[in-house]
């Protein structure tokens, strides 16, 4: 697994924190006690944000499609169980009236302004729903 490396020197969550601060998006929390332990929550808008690594959560980008050569059956099962767990968690949060948003590692590196716009739009929509 030495080939699965982070890009740059910031973790993906720290990158998102930097984007949120740069775009002055406020109201987020880190340690919410919700199913699946979302990376960021916006309690007023009831929005849970997950920052997913492309490899670990099976994204369609080149990094997400890369599969280990050794111990292949273990890794295929592991990655499929990750995807199944992600679906269960999102369904449970939806049942609790929380909306979810997945931010992919590759998008955060390449298109951080688009990510910020998506989050801001979801927050506006969530606040309008509450009024």
Read off the pLDDT band of 38 (50, 70, 90).
Answer: very high
The residue that leads in pLDDT, 8 or 24, is 24
% the chain with pLDDT above 70? 87
Q: Does residue 65 sit within a domain?
A: yes
Q: Does residue 49 sit within a domain?
A: yes
CB 17 within 8 A of CB 112: no
Q: Does residue 5 sit within a domain?
A: no
Q: Does residue 6 sit within a domain?
A: no
CATH code, domain with 26: 3.40.960.10
The residue that leads in pLDDT, 47 or 55, is 47
Residue 74 has a CB neighbour count (10 Å cut-off) of: 10
How far apart CA 40 and CA 2 sit, in angstroms, is: 28
Q: Does residue 7 sit within a domain?
A: no
Give the tens place of pLDDT for each residue, 61-120.
877 777 788 888 898 899 899 999 999 999 999 999 999 999 998 888 888 888 999 999
CB 16 within 8 A of CB 40: yes
pLDDT in the model for residue 48: 94
Q: Does residue 3 sit within a domain?
A: no
What is the span of the domain harbouring residue 24?
Answer: 12-130
Task: Copy the structure tokens of residue 104.
Answer: 């992919």
Across the beta sheet with 47-52, the strand order is: 40-42, 47-52, 99-104
Q: Does residue 112 sit within a domain?
A: yes
pLDDT tops 50 at residue 9: no
Number of separate domains in the chain: 1
Q: Does residue 4 sit within a domain?
A: no
pLDDT tops 90 at residue 1: no
pLDDT tops 80 at residue 49: yes
pLDDT in the model for residue 65: 76
Mean pLDDT of all residues in the chain? 85
């Amino acid at each position: 697994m030495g080939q699965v490396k982070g890009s740059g020197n910031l973790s993906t969550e720290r990158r998102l924190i930097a984007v949120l601060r740069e775009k002055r998006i406020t109201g987020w929390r880190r340690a919410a006690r919700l199913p699946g332990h979302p990376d960021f929550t916006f309690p007023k808008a009831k929005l849970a944000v997950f920052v997913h690594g492309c490899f670990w959560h099976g994204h369609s980008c080149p990094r997400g499609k890369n599969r280990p050569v050794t111990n292949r059956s273990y890794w295929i099962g592991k990655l499929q169980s990750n995807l199944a767990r992600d679906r269960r968690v999102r369904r449970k949060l939806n049942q609790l009236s929380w909306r979810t948003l997945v931010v992919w590692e590759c998008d955060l590196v390449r298109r951080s302004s688009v990510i910020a716009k998506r989050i801001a739009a979801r927050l506006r929509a969530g606040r309008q729903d509450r009024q």
